[in-house]
């Protein structure tokens, strides 16, 4: 029991909102192909989190920027945002 409690205490900070390593690997695997070449550089983005979330969920009609609504949860998109906005 104590072991379980301890692992919860130690694990929770690692999956918290502020973790950028999850966002970094999601970005590198899913976005970097375009966003390090043809698409705008979004590393260091100044977009607000809500705006970013909307764009990534819905994409931009008529551009190469697709919708990721069915691929990622809001939390995953915000993890990507956290990585981008702090780098
Ligand atoms: C197939 C190429 C492609 C992929 C993959 C892609 N994007 Fe995009 N993205 C674009 C293009 C092109 C635009 C510019 C659209 C426009 O002209 O408004 C864009 C625009 C954006 C914008 C708006 C930038 C701004 O300042 O207006 C955000 C935010 C964004 N993408 C995030 C992401 C994220 C996060 C991922 C990965 C989950 C991703 N994109 C994957 C091509 C891509």
Instruction: Please report, for the domain that includes residue 65, its CATH number.
Output: 1.10.760.10
Q: Rounded to whole angstroms, what are the CA distances from 33 to 5, 6, 48?
A: 41, 40, 23
Kindly report, residue by residue over 28-69, the tens digit of the pLDDT: 999 999 999 999 999 999 999 999 999 999 999 999 999 999
Residue 10 pLDDT > 90, yes or no? no
| Any domain includes 38 | yes
On whether the CB atoms of residues 67 and 76 are closer than 8 A, the answer is no
| Any domain includes 67 | yes
Q: Model pTM?
A: 0.85
d(CA 70, CA 48): 22
Q: Name which residue sits closest to atom 36 of ligand 1, judged by CA.
A: 31
* pLDDT of amino acid 59: 98
Contacts of 81 (CB under 8 A, 6+ apart): 23, 45, 47, 49, 52, 53
For a mutational test of ligand 1's pocket, the pick from 20, 22, 40, i.e. the residue with the most ligand atoms closer than 8 A to its C-beta, is 40
d(CA 63, CA 38): 12
56 lines ligand 1 (CB under 6 A): yes
At 12, the pLDDT band (50, 70, 90 cuts) reads low
Q: Which domain holds residue 45?
A: 20-85
* Both structure tokens of 24: 């970094």
């Amino acid at each position: 029991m104590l072991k379980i409690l301890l692992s919860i205490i130690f694990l929770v900070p690692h999956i918290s909102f502020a973790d950028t390593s999850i966002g970094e690997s999601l970005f590198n695997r899913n976005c970097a192909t375009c966003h390090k070449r043809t698409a705008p550089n979004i590393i260091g983005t100044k977009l607000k989190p809500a705006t970013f979330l909307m764009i990534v969920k819905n994409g931009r009609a008529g551009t190469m920027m697709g919708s990721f609504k069915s691929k990622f949860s809001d939390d995953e998109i915000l993890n990507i945002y956290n990585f981008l906005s702090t780098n």
